[in-house]
Structure 1
Amino acid sequence: MADPPSRRRFRIDWVLRQELALGPALLRRHHLDQLEQAGLCGVLSLSGVEEAPPPLGIEQRFRCRRLVLPDHRSGRLIEPAELEAALELLAELSAEGPVFVHCVAAMERSPLVCLAWLMRRRGLSQQQALDYLMQVHPGTSPLPGQLRVLEGLNGPTGASPNGEKVNT
């Protein structure tokens, strides 16, 4: 049985260096210190406060947005409109600096949003994005039903997926 989120080691995995990072829920004040030391400016939370209460002071230290997305326990899959809303919030936050995206365990929801970001912003195919994300964040494990929501996602305007290496 896996350790509960509070017992796992907190870590920051850069998806795109100085642009996008992901990891598990921020549960302690020293997690905020780690984000600051890494140069992160924004936090996109994809889990509910009741799932992982954030440490005090987070909103004074970072630009924060929250959009609660469903995970395997919710009994439903993420809707395309919810994924689009997450990407819009991520774009808003990233306009002011590097962003940390998290859910509880950084296995389903936050990797899914990062996959969508790679597809949309870097023009990667779903498989290219998944392969890459699994290299930089080995905990990536969205469910097949969650991945299906990516099938209708369009890449950047005028861009087509290619096999180029992602600049990290």
Structure 2
Amino acid sequence: MWFVTLATLHDHFKNKYNNYRTIHLSGFKILIAHFSSYIDILFYKKNNINTAVVGFDEDVFLSSGHALRRGFPETGERAIREKSPLTSVCEVTECLLLSAAPAVSPGLLRELGVSCVVNAASELPDTPLPQDRQVAYFKVGVEDRPNVDLLSHMDFVADMIEEVRCADGKTLVHCVAGVSRSATLCLAYLMKHERMPLRKAFSYLRSRRPSIRPNSGFFSQLIEFERRLFGAATVSMVHNQAAGNLIPDVYEAEYQNMLWYQQHYKHKFGRH
């Protein structure tokens, strides 16, 4: 079984974000690294046990946080665990699956009938594959940073997923958290071969996996990819005052949620 340790996850996100805050609620020590209202990684500690949860959205955090504040820590902890996409696999279409790295194991690939795996994270080792069946493997060695080129890989990966589909196969795409890089490649496939405009593809994929959140640089590249495919774009990059930079307009509501949350709960935050 392939697993990612708490220390590995902490180091990975510590290198990406400086905006760490700590909340103390009902005996829980919760460390959050977040970007807008989307929480990239959450560590919580109770009874000297560390737990890491990767890639979930504001709604999940608020629901679990409210449970903690009401004095039912077990309810909050269960909500975090059950709704975390860290160990779940999302069926995007009958031929396409999306997941985080810790969810992937040879047994799972065998059980799901996966015939092709795309690893979209440069910092991960090669994905462990079943030894008793042939599984195609391709690695897109990119980092999850806005200035990284993922556009040049979109056509190839989308076409490969479609070729696997035409051969009655199934492709699983993953990165570290199944949130940004792998989601971007799945969106490219939905646009090119399912003929979904980007806005519709994003809405559809988020309905299947609510934690997806391609970084703003990848979204700009998806917009360019959409223009190449359809001659026009359905998503725009807009300047957001709360973010202090350009974001895709489909994220604007999330920033409003972030501002509301900070205004209502900032007294509970302290610097880590």
Question: Could you say whether these structures have the same fold, taking a TM-score greater than 0.5 normalized by the shorter chain as the test?
Answer: yes
- Cα distance in structure 1, aligned partners of 2:139 and 2:113: 20
Identify which range, 81-90 or 104-113, moves more after superposition: 81-90
> What residue is the counterpart of 2:217 in the other structure?
145
Residue 208 of structure 2: which of 119, 133, 136 is its match?
136
SS in 1 for 2:189: helix
> What residue is the counterpart of 1:39 in the other structure?
113
Residues 27 and 53 of structure 1 are in contact (CA less than 8 Å); yes or no, is this contact kept in structure 2?
no
Identity %: 21
CA apart distance, 1:24:
0.9
Unaligned runs of 5+ in 1: 159-168
Aligned residues: 153
> What residue is the counterpart of 1:20 in the other structure?
96
CA apart distance, 1:94:
3.7
Larger radius of gyration: 2
Trace 1:16-165 onto structure 2 (pairs within 5 A).
16=93, 18-25=94-101, 31-48=105-122, 50-55=123-128, 57=130, 61-72=134-145, 76-96=147-167, 97-154=169-226
Question: Taking structure 1 as the reference length, what is the TM-score of the superposition?
Answer: 0.74
Letter in structure 1 aligned against 2:209: H
Kindly indicate which of the two structures has a greater share of residues assigned to helix. Answer: 2
Q: How big is each residue's C-alpha offset from its partner over 1:52-82, in whole Å with a ceiling of 9 and x where there is no partner?
A: 453365696521111212312xx62324223
Question: Taking structure 2 as the reference length, what is the TM-score of the superposition?
Answer: 0.48
For residues 46 and 59 of structure 1, do their structure 2 counterparts lie closer, same or farther at Cα, with a shift above 3 Å needed? farther
Letter in structure 1 aligned against 2:207: Q
> What residue is the counterpart of 1:11 in the other structure?
88
> What residue is the counterpart of 2:254 in the other structure?
none
| Two-structure CA RMSD over aligned residues (Å) | 3.2
Provide runs of 4+ in structure 1 moved above 6 Å. Answer: none
- Cα distance in structure 2, aligned partners of 1:27 and 1:137: 14
Unaligned runs of 5+ in 2: 1-31, 33-40, 42-51, 55-83, 231-272
Letter in structure 2 aligned against 1:66: K
Higher relative contact order (CA 8 A, sep 6+): 1
For residues 34 and 135 of structure 1, do their structure 2 counterparts lie closer, same or farther at Cα, with a shift above 3 Å needed? same
SS in 1 for 2:219: helix
